[in-house]
Structure 1
């Protein structure tokens, strides 16, 4: 239960590019609270100036979030309302705020979401990929080995996969997706709601060629969406998959190469196909 007279923490979504996307309700809340906790106070100060709002800003980012909890809780207990914003989009979605919201909720604080822009939702709404089920995996690991491992772990999932990616890693990520998931359909959304908003659609190889032809397509912030694996590409062996592997083995294709071909055509992890092909070969 929320203690009477306590303030409210508002989790406020802010524009991901186009300032006109800020809702009237969000602007009203930002203008009314006593304090705004922001991921980057310099960035947020520019937004507030454009809105004609003057408020005290408190930095809250991944390196100091735990240390801000008591400070913000004290303001709420005094009856002050506080807004939480990130640099762009909805706080907590690959942005700081989870530790704060969890801790305040455990203390009985009133927490109110002010919905609005979110890059992954905006990208999915215009991508033309299935949205009845999707898996948002945030940013892939920065190191190549860990990134490839993560892609391999997710490769057999049947839901649409969604990642965020930065400009200095987008080419490496696309190359890894192409190598590990084959010619699966990808849609890359770039610079959403901004002047140079772009959607690229095709295989990883096609998208990399587009970026080679036009280096501007590798600049900006990205949402990478990947079609889910076909249903038959899961852990179980279907009749169609067995037939394909048997045909390849009967034609003299090696187990490792047969697994690679199956993964490219049907999706899923090469390791799973390798184990299935090995079992079929051993069974004669």
Structure 2
């Protein structure tokens, strides 16, 4: 029996027109599917509505992927594909399987011999890196840094030292309501000549991307980052 294909469908980063962020072929593929494994069902329905899926949303099979899925969870979600049904994997925003539990589903799909097809779409991490002017030849994404202030500052110093040793751009994110604290920690902890890029609201009308040295950031008012999706990037010398 033919196995289905697992399509990795990028999700918009905010309420921008689908024509600006989703290639026509990707939108067409998403509209052809009726089974979806998603990080957040509400977000997925909103995205499928934005992509003008022809079927009533209530008729689609949309299943949430647990935050920490076990083997039985993954096998259950992949069972329709083993029976020949194609499926779409959707993150809450951006590219699926990058910094979300979808990676485990993709890994299990490979183990089951299911074809995995990544589709083109918005990635806040790559968009921020592209626009930062920092090193795009060597970079690393570190997810969330520690919440504890002392542990966070220690981790920032470690990442800065590693960046200087390897000329590596370090990327990380923060829960939006802690963005301002993260910015202040970077501004007070990093060396004056370290470059910091702050990329906010990517692909939205309120998008703002700015790269400055820490010394220069200290000379101006902090950007408005409260509760707004932001990517932070540093490159030390």
The answer to whether TM tops 0.5 is yes
Q: What is the aligned partner in structure 1 of residue 154 from structure 2?
A: 149
The number of aligned residues is 223
Pairwise CA distance, 1:61: 4.1
Aligned position for 1:210: 221
Q: After superposition, what is the alpha-carbon deviation per residue over 1:201-256, rounded to whole angstroms, capped at 9, x for unaligned?
A: 32446547422xx6x344411011111x32xxxxxxxxxxxxxxxxxxxxxxxxxx
The residue that corresponds to 1:41 in the other structure is 41
> How far 1:51 sits from its partner (Å)?
2.3
Unaligned runs of 5+ in 1: 231-284
Q: Which runs of 5+ in 2 are unaligned?
A: none
- Structure number with the bigger relative contact order (C-alpha 8 A, sep ≥ 6) is 2
Give yes or no for the alignment of 1:176 onto 2:185: yes
Give the RMSD, CA atoms, in angstroms: 2.1
Give 1:198's aligned residue: 208
- Are 1:187 and 2:197 an aligned pair? yes
Matches of 2:178 and 2:191, distance apart in 1:
19
Structure with greater strand share of residues: 2
CA distance in 2, matches of 1:37, 1:217: 31
Cα gap change, 1:58 to 1:65, in 2 (>3 Å):
farther
More helix by share: 1
Indicate conservation of the 8 Å contact 1:69/1:103, yes or no: yes
Distance 2:156 2:88 in 1: 36
Per-residue CA deviation, residues 122-143 of structure 1 (Å, 9 max, x unaligned), is: 1111112221211111222223
Conservation of the 8 A alpha-carbon contact between 1:189 and 1:223: yes
Query: 1:192: how far off?
Result: 0.5
Task: Name the CA shift for 1:66/1:210 in 2 (closer, same or farther; >3 Å).
Answer: farther
Match of 1:111 in 2: 116
> Is 1:5 the counterpart of 2:2 in the alignment?
yes
